[in-house]
């Protein structure tokens, strides 16, 4: 069993196969969320962070290729393992072009699927892991002490930070220059089961500008990227 359970979205409309895959993934130590059509899959992707999506191509309402394309258009880089009864090379190429990371043709060997799942999740975790910044960080004339949960602002004011503020600051700074998606913030700062609204995260960013920006209306450090996420630049 894995110490830190990866969260997998299983998108498969054939009930017997779905239950077989779900059971085997759970036996491997994964948390599994189910979706049985493309629209349901997109709703769940919009509300929760996943470490991997297993996506059937032939789905009711919205096919797996279209769901994958929509996920990538929204700048979500979650690994996607595509399943298909189609054996044509063109279908495989299309799936990979639209953003799938791997592809298995039905019927497939269950052990091979589990190996591919493990490799995709491990690869994604290595990409996500950034070099830590330690307990303290300085930028401009601002100083943050993450351990003490306080900061000295550019104007010399001492500010107490909430635990969530300190966690979000650290996440943004560790990903300096990169957009951190709302889904990633949900995973790291709020956890899987509590989802704040975008307005809540926006209010945190507004607080950071008030604390750390000399001109909060023209921020240098903390940026919102509409429809995608948030970014720290130095």
Q: Band the pLDDT of 31: cuts 50, 70, 90.
A: very high
Q: Band the pLDDT of 42: cuts 50, 70, 90.
A: very high
Max Cα distance, the chain (Å): 65
CA angle 147, 209, 49 (to 5 degrees): 65
**pLDDT at position 124, please?**
81
Which pair of structure tokens corresponds to residue 26? Answer: 């759970």
Separation between Cα atoms, residue 230 and residue 5, nearest integer Å: 26
Q: Which of 46, 7, 3, 2 is nearest to 192 (CA)?
A: 7
Q: What is the 3-state secondary structure (H, E, C) of the chain?
A: CCCCCCEEEEECCCHHHHHHHHHHHHHCCCEEEEECCHHHHHHHHHHCCCCEEEEECCCCCCCHHHHHHHHHHCCCCCCEEEEECCCCHHHHHHHHHCCCCEEEECCCCHHHHHHHHHHHHHHHHHHHCCCCCCCEEEECCEEEECCCCEEECCCCCEEECCHHHHHHHHHHHHCCCCCEEHHHHHHHHHCCCCCCCHHHHHHHHHHHHHHHCCCCCCCCCEEEECCCEEEECC
Residues with Cβ < 8 Å from 90, sequence gap 6 or more?
none
Q: Band the pLDDT of 3: cuts 50, 70, 90.
A: very low
Which pair of structure tokens corresponds to residue 219? Answer: 């921020």
- Report whether pLDDT(1) > 60: no
Query: Each residue of 112-142: pLDDT tens digit?
Result: 999 999 999 988 887 666 566 788 999 999 9
**pLDDT at position 85, please?**
80
Which pair of structure tokens corresponds to residue 64? Answer: 């797996």
Which pair of structure tokens corresponds to residue 153? Answer: 């602002």
Helices 89-97/64-73 angle, 10° precision: 20
Separation between Cα atoms, residue 222 and residue 234, nearest integer Å: 9
- Report whether pLDDT(226) > 50: yes
- Average pLDDT of 104-116? 93
CB 48 within 8 A of CB 78: no
Q: What are phi and psi of 159, to 5 degrees?
A: -125, 130
- Average pLDDT of 20-33? 96
- Average pLDDT of 47-75? 90
Domains of the chain, first to last: 7-128 (3.40.50.2300), 136-232 (1.10.10.10)
**pLDDT at position 4, please?**
59
pTM reported for the whole predicted model: 0.63
- Average pLDDT of 29-46? 94
CB 44 within 8 A of CB 62: no
């Amino acid at each position: 069993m894995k110490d830190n359970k990866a969260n997998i979205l299983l998108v498969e409309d054939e009930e017997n196969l779905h239950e077989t895959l779900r059971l085997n993934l759970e036996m491997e130590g994964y948390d599994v969320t189910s979706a049985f059509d493309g629209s349901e899959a997109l709703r769940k992707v919009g509300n929760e962070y996943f470490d991997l999506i297993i996506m059937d191509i032939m789905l009711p309402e919205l096919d797996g290729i279209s769901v994958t394309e929509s996920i990538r258009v929204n700048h979500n880089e979650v690994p996607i393992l595509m399943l298909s009864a189609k054996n044509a090379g063109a279908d495989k190429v299309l799936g990979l072009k639209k953003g799938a990371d791997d592809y298995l043709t039905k019927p497939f060997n269950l052990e091979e699927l589990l190996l591919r799942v493990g490799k995709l999740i491990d690869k994604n975790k290595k990409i996500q892991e950034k070099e830590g910044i330690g307990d303290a960080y300085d930028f401009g004339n601002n100083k943050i002490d993450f351990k003490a949960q306080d900061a000295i602002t550019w104007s010399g004011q001492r500010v107490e930070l909430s635990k969530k503020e300190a966690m979000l600051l650290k996440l943004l700074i560790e990903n300096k220059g990169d957009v951190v998606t709302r889904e990633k913030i949900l995973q790291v700062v709020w956890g899987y089961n509590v989802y704040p609204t975008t307005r809540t995260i926006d209010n945190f960013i507004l607080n950071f500008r008030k604390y750390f920006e000399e001109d909060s209306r023209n921020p240098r450090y903390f940026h919102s990227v509409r429809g995608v996420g948030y970014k720290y630049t130095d």
